[in-house]
Amino acid sequence: MRVLMIAPPGAGKGTQGALIAVHFGIPHISTGELLRDHVARRTGLGLAVQAYLDRGELVPDQVVLDMLRGAMVAAKAAGGGFVLDGIPRNMHQARAAYLIGRELQMTADVALHLQADDAELMRRLLARAALEHRSDDTPEIIAQRLALYREVTSPIMSWYRDRGILVSVDAMRSAQQVGREILAALEAMRPFLDLVPEQARLPVDLTGLGDAFGATDPAVDPSG
């Protein structure tokens, strides 16, 4: 099983990515963790990353993609499955990650979209900022992050939808409810992944299932 995660800040991407990885026994490739690990180990890539951070600059796509390639090579050696968390953040990264996967014969089976509205994401992120004493996460900054996500993610979503690998899940519920639905969907898809070519697949939208089965539970914070 090869899954990449698409989700706005606060949707529970890290929580669900970790759950999928444990369930299927596959590596959880988090680009944020990769960056921190390379910096901590002072690898060549890590030193390059630290230099950008010291200058207050964003880490260039190519540096992140070089780290991704190394992690995917390791994932292939471990069996070929993965959960990718933190990339793609823009269309260039999406296409580049696809080319890396095609080169290694391990393109994603599923682009998992965690869907949540901005008001709920704002609530979760402000709660997390208060809990972690993150003074930089103000309502204005969070609104900018969410607006940027919507702007750059729309073409990515369309691209994965056209490829037939997009699976959309309602992330407005508890982490447990969302996780159960994701695992059930992935398990149902698993027997067909090797039988149905990518170009013959259709996107899957599960966002209406929660309401249909009365699963909404607003009292539980699903952000993980």
Condensed to tens digits (0 to 9), the pLDDT of residues 118-140 reads 999 999 999 999 998 877 788 99
Q: Indicate the pLDDT class of residue 52, thresholds 50, 70 and 90.
A: confident
Class of the domain covering 2-30+81-209: alpha beta
Query: Are the C-beta atoms of residues 27 and 75 closer than 8 Å to each other?
Result: yes
Q: Indicate the pLDDT class of residue 176, thresholds 50, 70 and 90.
A: very high
Average pLDDT over residues 69-78: 95
Task: For the chain, give the mean pLDDT.
Answer: 87
- Write down the pLDDT at residue 200: 67
Is the sign of the CA dihedral 57, 113, 10, 15 positive or negative?
Answer: negative
Look up the pTM and report it: 0.83
**What element of type H or E holds 168?**
strand 166-170
How many beta carbons lie within 10 A of that of residue 32, not counting itself? 12
- Write down the pLDDT at residue 206: 85
* CA neighbor of 67 nearest in space, from 39, 91, 95, 105: 39
**Domain ranges in the chain?**
2-30+81-209
221 pLDDT more than 50: no
Candidate from 21-30, 107-116, 185-194 with smallest mean pLDDT: 185-194
